[in-house]
Amino acid sequence: MNPAHLLDTIQRTLTNGHCTLDQIWLDHAPIWQRLGWSREQVSLYLACLPGVRQCSMPTGEKAYELESSVNASSNKLADELVALLAKAGRPMPLAQLLGKLPAGMVVTEPMLRAAAMQDARLELRGPLVKLA
């Protein structure tokens, strides 16, 4: 299993609601061991994930949750992907789609992957995105 797929699991975990760093660290210990990451690296990764915000629990623990605005931006991104794929008429790699997005959009490959996974009009087949 490649590291990107392993890390997608973490982002899906956050769709269930907020999680403390301890929960994420303990619940996904095999992933961190496989990647060789420390607890601090996991915290940094979570802080850098697009659409994830850090919050504090009443106990003072760090927690992470998805921002509510992620769905709106993800829908816009999915609309762009559908338009690009319809114009191309064939499946395209994520990296190629990234280069064809409008100049004003600041998007990363994990953001594209997340948008494609969440939209029923799109399918991910390995590195390719295609219309469903």
CATH assignment of 3-66?
A: 1.10.10
Instruction: For strands 52-56 and 92-93, give the pairing.
Output: unpaired
| Distance (Å, whole) CA 63 – CA 57 | 6
pLDDT score for 91:
92
> What letter represents residue 45's amino acid?
Y
pLDDT score for 73:
56
pLDDT score for 48:
84
| Low-confidence stretches of the chain (pLDDT beneath 50) | 69-70
pLDDT tens profile 34-71: 989 999 999 888 888 877 888 877 788 888 888 764 45
Q: Where are the domains of the chain?
A: 3-66, 69-131
Q: What is the pTM of this model?
A: 0.49
pLDDT score for 69:
44
pLDDT score for 93:
92
pLDDT score for 113:
86
| Distance (Å, whole) CA 64 – CA 54 | 5
End-to-end CA distance of the chain: 24
pLDDT score for 62:
83
